[in-house]
Amino acid sequence: MELKSKRRDPLGELDIFDPDTGSMVRRGLGANRANASPEALSVLADETIWALGQEVSFGQAVAQGILSIIQQSPTCLQTYRTGVRTAGAKGPTLGRLMAIHLVPVLTADHTRIRHLFCKAFEVMEKAGAYTLTKPLEALDRILHGGDHRSAEIYLSLLCTAFSREMPYNRRQQLAALLPKAAFQYAPAKRPWQLSQLERVMRVDDRLALALMTGMDKGLDLLSALALSRFVSQGLERCEPDRQRAEKFFALESRSGRSVFDELQVAASFCQVQPQLNRYLQARTGRKLTVRLVSALSMRGGDTPFDSGGTFSDRKHIYLPNEVERFETKTDNVRVYKCLARFEAGLHEFGTFRFDLERALELCRENQQCFLLPDPAQSGIQPSVAVSDLERFFNLFPEPLLAEDLFLIFEHGRIRHLLEQSYPGLVSTCLPMFQQEARMLLSKGLNRQALIPIYARIACGLSPEDSERELSGESRLVRKTAELFDTAMQRRVPTAETSGELVAASYAVVNTQLDPCRRAAGIRSYQPLQTPFLRRIRPDLHQISGLRIERLARSIKMHLADRGIHIYASVLRDYLESRRGELGTRDIEKILRDPKNYTNKARTARQPICRDRVDVALQAVAFGTDTESELPAAQHSNCPAFWYPEWDCRLGDYLSDHARVLECAVEGHASKFYESTLIRYAGLVQQIRSVFELLKPQGLKWYRRWIEGDEFDYHQLLDFALDRRAGRTPSERLYIKRLKALRDVAVLLLVDLSRSTANAVAGSDTSVLNVEKEAIVLFSEALQVVGDRYAIAGFSGAGRLGVEYFQIKDFSDPLDDDVRCRINAMAPRRNTRMGAAIRHAASRLSAETCRVKLLIMLGDGFPNDLNYKKTYAVEDTRRAIAELRAQGVHVHAITVNMNPANASHLDELFGDIHHNLITDVTDLPDRLWRIYGALTR
């Protein structure tokens, strides 16, 4: 009885003190409550109550903190308690910070880290409590990732940084930048990157700031040794001249850049991206660009390729973030190039056009093939998300082995075809793959029995080379290679040929691998490791084109119902090139080529009749546009203008169909205009001098004229001399002055659709922002040359709500109002191009200049409610044609669009009347040049 009453009920006390926190603690304890010692519970209650007494949030933080370490040793709890008490004595804010951040430190259970943490906390507290928040948050994250090494270095960096004397501003800056840096650096490199940062910090905090800037600009690519060398060189410069060293570290000085270039051997994705994209466009003529592997894993789901790897989907070739395989940067860049060049071969030579039906037909024709079940017999409709290739692999007992065999033969086939079309490519790139293959070979073969076959077939390694490392299996390699070589001699090997080879070799390889696998004690199949981890990923390719796949299957089915049997892959190809629209005419074209028929059709010998095709196509439901027209209520006060629209289905205009509202633009005062001029100071200078030359001088001089206002003295002299010599003198003795005029009015019409809010790749600015910068430079150029110009934006939603924003009218001077309106341009909604063009035309028609020009700046195709695809394109083309008929020149500039769509732009604007600028950051430098060329 006695005892019992003495026994405390700490949680009860807490409940009485603050019921909210009490119940929070109970919830937090949950099932652990039984395991928590009474001592621990008292500490929990006492400390929480004490902290709650100072401030609620402090108390709660303490409660949370103790809850998360309640399982740990009593000493640990004691340390926590002392730490929090000491900090809390100086105020609840400090106490709370300690209560929160001490937890991960204690959890890490690392003496040195604990020690450094206390020291750093003290130093930073002295420097000003504001320096604690952000840096400690970053510490939590590092510790959470289990990176103790970095945490240690980071803490000592914080100690060094905040024990230095420096002005308030800079300290604040460091408090923001240090944690950002620590978190940004790649975990693999972070320890030595941070320690170099600390090394510099010990010398001078300004230099450390500069180094962080440099890291953002590319120093992070350096290897440990290289970075340390770079820092040494920078510090040497600091002695005589600190500012020079700052420029050096920030990669702002030429010497900084050149030392960096020398030291840098890693090639990064960003550096090669534009180059590779341009190459791929030229090489394949398709919508194919490079992308980071990590872009894929970020979208969640499987991430088996975190460590790098190369593969493709429909539109992208995925490449590793960084390549540091070789000693020189040139070679590392070359790895990227080789990977992209080989991978492009898959797209060029139709790997993903693999047609299951065709492959199975081939296999059946070939007697030696592994007996495959016919998937059609199963009667199961396969999901559209499963590609023909995967379905093919699944027909084998061990699909992974089939997949690897396919990889081998397909890479071999591509190599073979590349050798024929691009001998240079193969002779530059193949040695690299061979070298990698040799390296893999020499690593031992227990687990990777397929490597020698890959080396031989896919990398074209000579028999001596690939067999040197093995004894028993050399027969297998030789036999498979023979099989492959014979197949390649057939006309043009296709992806289905590779499939056939898989079926032909599967059984033999499988039996040969078995004992080898058993010897190594491996039960499950170990996928093949290829040089640079190149894979074929039909799954990714498939999911990036489900719409086409669905259509193709549905058309194929409907045609088959009517006795017409053609390969699905043929339909897929057509659909893809027609952007998903397929007509009777296309099908007829397909039917004309006997190669497109499946074997079923060949045996059936059905006559084809057009009606049946028509019916089949009608049966395929094409999605129709069901969006409704939105009323544009918010624009009730704007002046409205009605325009006709061209309906290509009718072949006629719909009169008064689109309503353009001239919306007032609320100006936005900011430094955007000025700062753009400053940012591009060099360019502005250049623009001025170029346009100064274009500017008509009122009168233009023509020398050597036959009649004129003045004598040309040089010519007079010649004349006299010629006469004396008895030669026939020239009669071009005059200078004539002619009035020269640039009688030009230009309207710049900017598409403000939603997509212009998209971020520019590799930066945090938007497409529209870059466009606006270009507009600033454009205005400057026109100001110099003195042409009349206007700027307008457009967007809107629905045919009744086309918005037209007058940024600068022809008669407006370029004043602050206009500048503020340029600032205010912002992304809106859709792109009903035709109506906007017609309105711009009415604006231009009021001008009396001899030459009128409409420049359209946009980032895509016309698109609005009930204004899509062909309909939208045709109306826009009409509107442009109307303008051209009125003698207005129309020129379009499209930014940020995949170059592969360029041909569609040709359709829209006429091939010489538009420019495509894939990288929008080129626009500021291109817009004025294009204008210059247009009016030269």
Partner 1 sequence: MAETSAAETDGYRIDREPFYLPAGDELKLFQAACDARLPVMLKGPTGCGKTRFVEYMAYRLARPLITVSCHEDLFASDLIGRYLLKGDETVWVDGPLTRAVRLGAICYLDEIVEARKDTTVVIHPLTDHRRYLHIERKGEMLRAHPDFLMVISYNPGYQSVLKDLKQSTRQRFVSLEFGYPDPEKETRIVANEGGVDLQVAARLVSLAGKIRRIRDQGLMEGASTRLLIYAAKLVHHQTPQREACRTAISLPLTDDRRLQETLNDLIDDYFAGDGTEIKTA
Give me the residues that bind partner 1 (CB under 8 A), please.
265, 274-275, 278-279, 281-283, 285, 324-328, 331, 334, 337, 341, 421-425, 427-432, 435, 439, 702, 706, 723, 726, 728-729, 731, 742, 744, 851, 853, 889, 891, 899, 902, 912-913, 915-916, 918, 933-936
Give the tokens for residue 245.
């060293």
Q: How near is the Cβ of 773 to partner 1 at its closest, in Å?
A: 19
**What span, in angstroms and rounded, lies between the C-alpha atoms of 201 and 159?**
10
Q: How near is the Cβ of 366 to partner 1 at its closest, in Å?
A: 33
**What span, in angstroms and rounded, lies between the C-alpha atoms of 606 and 586?**
19
Which of 654, 851 has the CB closer to partner 1?
A: 851
DSSP state for residue 468 in the 8-state scheme: T
**What span, in angstroms and rounded, lies between the C-alpha atoms of 462 and 542?**
35
**What span, in angstroms and rounded, lies between the C-alpha atoms of 239 and 529?**
51
Host H or E run for residue 323? strand 322-323
Q: How near is the Cβ of 916 to partner 1 at its closest, in Å?
A: 4
**What span, in angstroms and rounded, lies between the C-alpha atoms of 452 and 479?**
12
**What span, in angstroms and rounded, lies between the C-alpha atoms of 674 and 79?**
56
Query: Facing residues of 794 across strands?
Result: 751, 804
Single-letter residue type at 686: Q
Q: How near is the Cβ of 904 to partner 1 at its closest, in Å?
A: 12
Question: CA nearest 904: which of 934, 929, 872?
Answer: 872
| Contact assessment for residue 96 and residue 65, using Cβ atoms and an 8 Å cutoff | no
| Contact assessment for residue 852 and residue 811, using Cβ atoms and an 8 Å cutoff | no
Q: How near is the Cβ of 822 to partner 1 at its closest, in Å?
A: 24
Q: How near is the Cβ of 730 to partner 1 at its closest, in Å?
A: 8
3-state SS class at 569: helix
Contacts of 196 (CB under 8 A, 6+ apart): 211, 227, 228, 231
Which of 351, 915 has the CB closer to partner 1?
A: 915
DSSP state for residue 752 in the 8-state scheme: -
Which of 454, 705 has the CB closer to partner 1?
A: 705
Q: How near is the Cβ of 408 to partner 1 at its closest, in Å?
A: 22
Beta strands at 802-808 and 914-917: parallel, antiparallel or unpaired: unpaired
φ/ψ of 712, rounded to 5, equals: -95, 110
Q: How near is the Cβ of 288 to partner 1 at its closest, in Å?
A: 12
Which of 69, 272 has the CB closer to partner 1?
A: 272
Host H or E run for residue 312? strand 311-312
| Contact assessment for residue 861 and residue 875, using Cβ atoms and an 8 Å cutoff | no
Which of 373, 887 has the CB closer to partner 1?
A: 887
3-state SS class at 88: helix
Which of 262, 514 has the CB closer to partner 1?
A: 262
Which of 229, 742 has the CB closer to partner 1?
A: 742
Q: 4: buried, middle or exposed (CB in 10 Å: 19+, 13-18, 0-12)?
A: exposed
Q: Which residues of 204-237 are buried (b: 16+ CB within 10 A; e: fewer)?
A: bbbbbbbbbebbeebbbbbeeebbbebbebbbeb
Q: How near is the Cβ of 278 to partner 1 at its closest, in Å?
A: 5
Give the tokens for residue 673.
């205009």
Give the tokens for residue 386.
């499963």
Which of 279, 525 has the CB closer to partner 1?
A: 279
Concatenated DSSP letters for 384-442?
A: TTS-HHHHHHTTSSSHHHHHHHHHHHHHHHHHHHHHHH-HHHHHHHHHHHHHHHHHHHH
| Contact assessment for residue 776 and residue 926, using Cβ atoms and an 8 Å cutoff | no
Which of 722, 816 has the CB closer to partner 1?
A: 722
Which of 702, 711 has the CB closer to partner 1?
A: 702
Q: How near is the Cβ of 744 to partner 1 at its closest, in Å?
A: 7
Which of 341, 534 has the CB closer to partner 1?
A: 341
Which of 269, 867 has the CB closer to partner 1?
A: 269
| Contact assessment for residue 576 and residue 365, using Cβ atoms and an 8 Å cutoff | no
Q: How near is the Cβ of 709 to partner 1 at its closest, in Å?
A: 16
Q: 31: buried, middle or exposed (CB in 10 Å: 19+, 13-18, 0-12)?
A: exposed
CA angle 276, 280, 285 (to 5 degrees): 155
Which of 125, 882 has the CB closer to partner 1?
A: 882
Q: How near is the Cβ of 929 to partner 1 at its closest, in Å?
A: 10
Single-letter residue type at 583: G
Which of 692, 731 has the CB closer to partner 1?
A: 731
Which of 8, 723 has the CB closer to partner 1?
A: 723
Which of 630, 930 has the CB closer to partner 1?
A: 930
Contacts of 713 (CB under 8 A, 6+ apart): none
First and final C-alpha spacing in the chain:
105
Q: How near is the Cβ of 439 to partner 1 at its closest, in Å?
A: 7
Q: How near is the Cβ of 848 to partner 1 at its closest, in Å?
A: 17
**What span, in angstroms and rounded, lies between the C-alpha atoms of 880 and 889?**
9
**What span, in angstroms and rounded, lies between the C-alpha atoms of 719 and 729?**
5
Q: How near is the Cβ of 477 to partner 1 at its closest, in Å?
A: 24
Q: How far is CA 418 from the centre of its chain?
A: 28
Q: How near is the Cβ of 678 to partner 1 at its closest, in Å?
A: 26
Q: How near is the Cβ of 315 to partner 1 at its closest, in Å?
A: 17
Which of 50, 719 has the CB closer to partner 1?
A: 719
CA distances from 905 to 286, 323, 549, 816 (A): 14, 36, 25, 36
**What span, in angstroms and rounded, lies between the C-alpha atoms of 102 and 68?**
11
Which of 225, 298 has the CB closer to partner 1?
A: 225
| Contact assessment for residue 459 and residue 531, using Cβ atoms and an 8 Å cutoff | yes
Q: How near is the Cβ of 499 to partner 1 at its closest, in Å?
A: 27
